[in-house]
Amino acid sequence: MSLAEQVIVLAILGALMAIFFPILSEFRFLQSSEDQATTLARHMSAARNTASKSNRLVYFEFDFEEDEYHAYTFQRDTGELKKKVLIESTGLRLAAVASASGKRNTEGKLTLRMQPSGVSEETAAYLGSDETEVYATLLFSRYTGRATVKTGEVEPELEKPQWKHEPE
């Protein structure tokens, strides 16, 4: 095989990798735990930003049976109210999600509301194979919409407003 042929083969392989690597990286088995947590953080922030920019309520739903999540809104189309999916996950190892109530949800579906005002629910999402093996915690702030990824299991600190008066 001549040098020119080798260069052509390498160029073809490089082009194929450039095309297929982004597609393959979306698959769950190729994503690291940090990638999954970061992707979830970006998606939750995007849902909150969409709610603010579109002045619409956006729902962010975790499905524990399917190990996935999606964000959606409702649109009125010729008199009918239709669900419009904004974000879909490709899979997630979700152990539990704790909302503002502090209760950990591990089964069924949990829906969070992202308000047009930018306020959402204080949330902690625990990523792992089950509740005993959590490899990352995503903390989502109620007022700022900041999504922070922490390694391991971290208990959320609920935001305490400074103006709250404690009885004596």
- Which stretches within the chain are classed as H helix? 3-25, 33-54
Query: Which pLDDT tens digit goes with each residue over 124-165?
Result: 888 887 667 888 888 888 888 788 888 888 777 655 544 444
For residue 50, the Cα-to-chain-centroid distance in whole angstroms is 14
Residue whose structure tokens are 């600190």? 157
Q: Is the pTM of this model over 0.85?
A: no
Contacts of 50 (CB under 8 A, 6+ apart): 56, 58, 71, 73, 86, 114
Q: How far apart are CA 96 and CA 129, in angstroms?
A: 10
Residues composing the chain: 168
Q: How far apart are CA 32 and CA 128, in angstroms?
A: 11
Query: Which pLDDT tens digit goes with each residue over 45-66?
Result: 888 888 888 888 999 988 888 8
User: Side chain identity at 28, as an amino acid letter?
Assistant: R
- Strand, helix or coil at 29? helix
> Across all residues in the chain, what is the average pLDDT?
79
What pLDDT score was predicted for residue 12? 92
